[in-house]
Structure 1
Amino acid sequence: MNYVSFTTPDGAASWGVSLEGRIHDLGPSGAGLAPTLKDIVADGRFGTLSEEQVREAPAFDEADVALLPPIIDPAKILCIGVNYVSHQEETGKTNQKAPTVFTRFADTQMGHLAPALMPASTTQYDYEGEMALVVSKDAYRVKAEDAWDYVAGYGAYNDFSVRDWQLAATQWTPGKNFPGTGAFGPYLVPAADLGDVDQLKLETRVNGEVRQSASVADLYFSIPQIIEYVTAWTKLSAGDVIVTGTPGGVGLFMEPKGFLSAGDVVEVEITGLGTLSNTVALDA
């Protein structure tokens, strides 16, 4: 099932499931199963709801609601840098000994169809199509062989990057945390619904032109390796988000450069997870 967070036509925040173009409201303004989707993840009910339960809830046409990031307020968003072999090759950062990790703040996120805000201070606005996972329960010092038990589900992510701010110093935090630059959605899909995620294909398009195309199997550090590494030094909680990396083909390394401009439409499509679409807009 495709779980979503959204605001109703009246502006109330809620969550539910998308079925056949309708959003069935399971949150506070509907069936009232829990305050947020993160609460459902934390109490272990994520992915367990029956279609009958969902269809009994009040529903809206998907076009009448505004989709939010599936997890609105994760305590931690950890992003893995340079984690596809093709991206390592274009950056020259090969043979890494450990994952590159940086943080993104929750208040930089936006949902499907929300504008991707390009700061007035840059001319180097870039895309990074990625797959994100959401942690299912408290995780600390998890071994790789147990890691799959800590994954609730997956969604598409676009880690829009302000390259001049990112590359001005050795750490990347400024270039990754402008408002309206962390697109997440449209859906959060239970891991059990997807099977082997290595079989999923990720594709990023700018105005219909394919810029990135890769199999999730091409990750340099696998999802179990990422979870083992990250939880070796920080405790994760249900609802935390790990963004697993982007393939080669980002605008920074194109010739000529493939940076974004206002009005560009960027889509990230992942098998089984839908298509995340955002249009670039200037942030005054």
Structure 2
Amino acid sequence: MKFATFLKNENERLAVQVDDRLIDVVETAKKNGWNEIYTDVMQVIELDEIPLKEFEDQIKEAVSNNNAVIIEEEVVWGPCVTKPHKIICVGLNYRKHADETNSPYPEVPILFNKFDNTLTGHQCEIEVPSVTNELDYEVELGIVIGKRTKNVTQEEALSHVFGYCTVNDISARDLQMRTHQWLLGKTSDGFSPVGPYLVTSDEVGDPNNLNLKTYVNGELRQNSNTSDMIFTCKEIVSYISKYMTLEPGDLILTGTPEGVVFGLPVEERVYLQPGDEVSVEIEKLGKLTNKFVKDGALQHA
């Protein structure tokens, strides 16, 4: 299934994508008299396999009987994962990206974190902070945990994954490189657009065989495959679970491939500016697009 979040009366609402149609889950549940109504994607992520399958069957039956409420007006998207307990990121996890930045391949995953203030949705505007002159893009595969996970083996790790999503790990390089800790350059408001869809793992298959791309103002900048990861998705989930308990809804960003601005020679680097539009796209997961605006523009909108 493909889940999404949209805003209605400024409240986040759950949607499901079926045959290129976006279904309003709450209104469809009311229309069909369902006892159980899921209003948020986090509730769905915590479902066991059987109730999740029953929910999927309900949605498909409502669609086939023309009893599903379609969201026809222009959609205001929210992040497809709304309240992750943790956002954990992996740095320098693609061979060619490490090569372009003249960095050695890590011997263990490099981990850092982001916070929920960075979350935003498809087609949402993102401010370019006045404190940076070096704003960069990073297409990344997002892993969303579906079960409480501690000390899981690599062989079992992906069975603990609910699904996957497209993420742009926006990075202020001058702030990121100011100290040995990357936090400052990664955690400004809106620096983690995620979506449009959270796609369940059964529809994705092998997460380490997906094409991923980035376009800036229509120009292709990143074009790679998740097979270039140094640490695979199962290795990442297993590794993190040895040090902390992963909870349903936790979001893991798995690194970016080559083609970022920071990977170019210094004289060729042209960083993101207000007015730029960036689209990041991952096979089977969809394209996520955001436009960048001046610092303060959203407060005065």
The two structures have a TM-score, normalised by structure 1, of 0.94
Task: Provide the C-alpha distance between the structure 1 equivalents of 2:88 and 2:260, rounded to a whole number of angstroms.
Answer: 20
1:143 correspondence with 2:147: no
Conserved in 1, the CA contact under 8 Å of 2:144 and 2:248?
Answer: yes
Following the alignment from structure 1 to structure 2, what is the Cα–Cα distance between the partners of residues 167 and 75?
26
1:52 and 2:60 matched: yes
Equivalent pair of 1:7/1:66 in contact (CA under 8 Å): yes
Distance in 2, Cα, partners of 1:104 & 1:7: 23
Q: Which moved more, 1:238-247 or 1:251-260?
A: 251-260
Measured after TM superposition, the shift of residue 281 of structure 1 is 1.1
Identity of aligned residues (%): 33
- The secondary structure found in structure 2 opposite 1:60 is coil
SS of the residue 2:17 aligns to: strand
Partner residue of 2:93?
83
Q: Which amino acid aligns with 2:228?
A: D
Change over 3 Å in CA distance of 1:47–1:161 after alignment to 2: farther
How many equivalent pairs are there?
Answer: 281
Greater strand share, structure number: 1
Residue 101 of structure 2 contacts residue 262 of structure 2 at CA under 8 Å; is this kept in 1?
no
d(CA) in 1 for partners of 2:253 and 2:217?
A: 24
Q: Which runs of 5+ in 1 are unaligned?
A: none
- Which residue is equivalent to 1:23? 22
Mapping 1:263-282, distance limit 5 Å: 263-282=275-294
Residue 2 (1) aligns with residue 2 (2): yes
- Aligned with 2:262 (options 244, 252, 260): 252
Question: Which entry has the higher C-alpha Rg, 1 or 2?
Answer: 2
Contact in 2 for aligned 1:47/1:190 (Cα 8 Å): no
Partner of 1:190: 200
Alpha-carbon shift at residue 94 of structure 1 (Å): 2.0
Letter in 1 for 2:2: N
1:30 and 1:278, CA in 2 relative to 1: closer, same or farther beyond 3 A?
same
SS of the residue 2:208 aligns to:
helix
Contact 2:151–2:238, Cα closer than 8 Å, also in 1: yes
Counterparts of residues 22-171 of structure 1 (less than 5 Å): 22-27=21-26, 30-31=28-29, 33-44=37-48, 45-46=51-52, 49-50=56-57, 51-53=59-61, 55=63, 56-61=67-72, 63-171=73-181
Q: Spell out, residue by residue over 1:106-129, the C-alpha distance to the aligned partner (whole angstroms, 9 max, x if none).
A: 121100000122101111111001
* Alpha carbons of structure 1 residues 70 and 46: separation in structure 2 relative to 1, 3 Å: farther
Partner of 2:219: 209
One-letter amino acid of the counterpart of residue 17, structure 2: S
User: Helix, strand or coil for the counterpart of 1:185?
Assistant: coil
| Structure 1 residue 92 displacement after superposition | 2.1
| Number of the residue aligned with 1:226 | 236
Q: Which moved more, 1:52-61 or 1:117-126?
A: 52-61
> Residues 36 and 123 of structure 1: is their aligned pair in 2 closer, same or farther, counting only changes over 3 Å?
same
Seen in structure 2, the aligned counterparts of structure 1 residues 76 and 207 have a Cα distance that, compared at 3 Å, is same
Quote the Cα distance in structure 1 between the aligned partners of 2:44 and 2:234: 23
Give 2:299's aligned residue.
none
Query: What whole-Å deviation, never above 9, does each CA across 1:63-109 have from its counterpart, x for those lacking one?
Result: 52211111111000001111000111112222311001110101211
Judged with a 3 Å threshold, the aligned counterparts in structure 2 of structure 1 residues 38 and 54 are, in CA distance, closer, same or farther, namely farther
Instruction: Describe the shift of the 1:103–1:279 C-alpha distance in structure 2 as closer, same or farther (beyond 3 A).
Output: same
Structure 2 unmatched ranges of 5 or more? 30-35, 297-301
* 1:14-40 deviation per Cα after TM superposition (whole angstroms, max 9, x unaligned): 10112345321114x552622311111
Q: Using the alignment, how far apart are the partners of 2:101 and 2:259 within structure 1? A: 10
Residues 250 and 258, structure 1, Cα contact 8 Å, conserved in 2 = no
Aligned match of 2:33: none
**By how many angstroms is 1:46 displaced?**
4.6
RMSD: 1.6
Contact 2:92 2:105 in 1 (8 A): no
Q: Given that residues 17 and 54 in structure 1 are in contact (C-alpha distance below 8 angstroms), is that contact kept between their aligned partners in structure 2?
A: no
- Aligned AA (2:13): S
